[in-house]
Amino acid sequence: MATFAKARIEAIMKSAGAERISAKAIVRMDELCAEFGGKSSKTAINLANTAGRKTVQADDIKLAVSKIGSPKMSPTGPKSRAFAKARVERVIRESGASRVSADAVDYLNKQLEAYCYTLAKGAIDIARHAKRKTLKDTDIMP
């Protein structure tokens, strides 16, 4: 089941410099972004529980992302909303959160965009090395 909008994932990959993108590459990127969001959310939930809170806050997400080791900044600027807030919040809630602050959703959204952008940049390099213009799912490596 798709977690994020395919059109938005494709737009992020195109902004990274991709000329053509296969459908399987978009599905693979969706899976990797959902996996990254889930890992970050589980770590953030544990941090919130350790602090004695039920609400996952932006600071919890920041610390969780720094532990995992993702890019810190979104490539399109601070006002960008890469994915729909409801979808990002669903990723956090599916990881086990009972309450989620709006700031946490916004911050994870930016981090997901940065993660997608970074993966796309690496995939573009691999495709160019193979002398292809089309990104394939096998080019995308976490």
Q: pLDDT tens, 43-91?
A: 999 999 999 999 999 999 999 998 887 665 556 555 566 899 999 999 9
Task: Write the CA distances from 96 to 3, 32, 39, 41, 83, integer angstroms.
Answer: 16, 19, 11, 8, 20
Write down the pTM of the prediction.
0.89
Q: 29: buried, middle or exposed (CB in 10 Å: 19+, 13-18, 0-12)? A: buried
Instruction: Write down all domains in the chain, each with its CATH number in brackets.
Output: 6-139 (1.10.20.10)
Tokens of 76: 């399109």
pLDDT digits (tens, 9 = 90+) for 7-28: 999 999 999 999 999 999 999 9
